[in-house]
């Protein structure tokens, strides 16, 4: 759990001193048990903000095709659709290309998004024949879709709430989460007390007791983290549902593509055949947009 101290938690014994003569500290690689203490000190940022950042960092770190996690890419935020589009035929990531053509005998360039396999940028044991889509077509199709969505606010909210319900904790799970927080808190208090009066001798009973409590805490912590993850996903989706609805209600037209808002609202897009484009929003709402073959220059 990187940078857990920002939201008030502490992972203890990240480093240890093995040689009492040199007092040199080294990274703890299974030399001694580590233990995690929640709410150890005042937080710099809220846990909600911290979890949101961790989710984005994880997305950038993995950059893999869902749900199978097959295709790895490095993060790029230069273009509006970087790391956000996938091929509907083979599932491969879609990348940005600059293509040169001619009109009235004069060369011109245009930007498209094309499946990496269909563009022969990667090798695989299967073929893909998906066509490229002009970048400006994707932008225009997305804007047209948003305009239609402004007339479906109630439906969008209902779909979003249904998607959120799928990841929400049940009543029993919420009660179990409270119970786990109390159990983990009690165990960590005992661990902290023992750590503060750590034996200067190699007392096997002391070591065994401490290790047993840390192991017990870790078991409960794993269950707790699984429930918290679902809870955080619910909060994340609800925030994005409200953001989507607020954005739709605040706009009267969508003549210009807003790349910043696109990245805030959309999780990913899928380019299907016949230039159909599926947009999956971060709140769980999905919509299809109809693209077309050519941009304005052709």
**Residue 201, in any domain of the structure:** no
Strands 85-87 and 133-134: unpaired
Q: What is the dihedral of CA 216, 187, 30, 229, to 10 degrees?
A: 80
Higher-pLDDT residue of 295 and 233 is 233
**Residue 18, in any domain of the structure:** yes
The least confident of 48-62, 99-113, 128-142, 185-199 is 48-62
Please give the residue range of the domain that contains residue 39.
Answer: 1-64
Q: Is the pLDDT of residue 193 over 90?
A: no
**Residue 261, in any domain of the structure:** no
Q: Is the pLDDT of residue 188 over 50?
A: yes
**Residue 265, in any domain of the structure:** no
Of 96, 100, 102, the closest CA to residue 116 belongs to 96
**Residue 284, in any domain of the structure:** no
Q: Which of 37-51, 144-158, 198-212, 252-266 has the highest mean pLDDT?
A: 144-158
Q: Is the pLDDT of residue 73 over 60?
A: no
Strands 85-87 and 266-271: parallel
The total of structural domains in the chain comes to 1
User: What is the reported pLDDT for 67?
Assistant: 44
**Residue 163, in any domain of the structure:** no
User: What is the reported pLDDT for 63?
Assistant: 52
User: What is the reported pLDDT for 294?
Assistant: 84
pTM recorded for the entire structure: 0.74
d(CA 89, CA 126): 11
Residue-wise pLDDT for 212-269, tens only, equals 888 888 899 899 989 988 998 999 999 999 999 999 999 888 989 999 999 999 999 9
d(CA 298, CA 296): 6
**Residue 37, in any domain of the structure:** yes
User: What is the reported pLDDT for 65?
Assistant: 47
CB-side neighbour CA atoms (13 Å) of 40: 15
- pLDDT, mean over the chain: 84
Q: What is the DSSP string of 150-193?
A: TT-HHHHHHHHHHHHHHHSPPHHHHHHHHHHHHHHHHHHHHHHH
Q: Which of 17-21, 197-201, 234-238 has the highest mean pLDDT?
A: 234-238
Higher-pLDDT residue of 26 and 83 is 83
Structure tokens belonging to residue 263: 């990245």
Percentage with pLDDT > 90 across the chain: 48
**Residue 3, in any domain of the structure:** yes
The β-bridge partners of 106 are 103
């Amino acid at each position: 759990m990187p940078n857990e101290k920002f939201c008030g938690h502490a992972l203890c014994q990240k480093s240890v001193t093995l040689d009492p003569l040199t007092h040199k500290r080294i990274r703890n690689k299974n030399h001694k048990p580590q233990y995690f203490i929640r709410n150890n000190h005042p937080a710099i940022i809220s846990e909600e903000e911290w979890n949101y950042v961790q989710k984005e960092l994880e997305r950038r770190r993995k950059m893999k095709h869902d749900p199978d996690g097959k295709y790895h890419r490095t993060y790029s935020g230069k273009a509006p659709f970087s790391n956000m589009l996938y091929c509907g035929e083979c599932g491969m990531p879609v990348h940005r290309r600059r293509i040169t053509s001619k009109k009235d005998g004069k060369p011109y360039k245009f930007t498209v998004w094309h499946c990496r396999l269909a563009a022969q940028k990667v090798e695989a044991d299967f073929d893909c024949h998906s066509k490229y889509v002009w970048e400006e077509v994707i932008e225009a199709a997305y804007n047209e879709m948003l305009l239609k969505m402004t007339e479906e606010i109630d439906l969008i909210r209902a779909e979003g709430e249904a998607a959120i319900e799928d990841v929400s904790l049940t009543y029993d799970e919420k009660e179990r989460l409270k119970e786990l927080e109390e159990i983990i808190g009690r165990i960590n208090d005992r661990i902290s007390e023992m750590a503060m009066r750590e034996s200067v001798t190699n007392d096997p009973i002391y070591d065994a007791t401490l290790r047993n409590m840390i192991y017990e805490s870790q078991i409960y912590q794993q269950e707790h983290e699984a429930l918290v993850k679902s809870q955080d996903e619910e909060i994340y989706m609800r925030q994005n549902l409200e953001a989507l609805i607020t954005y739709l209600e605040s706009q009267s037209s969508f003549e210009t593509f807003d790349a910043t808002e696109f990245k805030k609202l959309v999780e990913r897009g899928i380019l299907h055949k016949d230039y159909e484009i599926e947009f999956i929003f971060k709140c769980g709402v999905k919509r299809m947009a109809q693209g077309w073959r050519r941009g304005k220059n052709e």
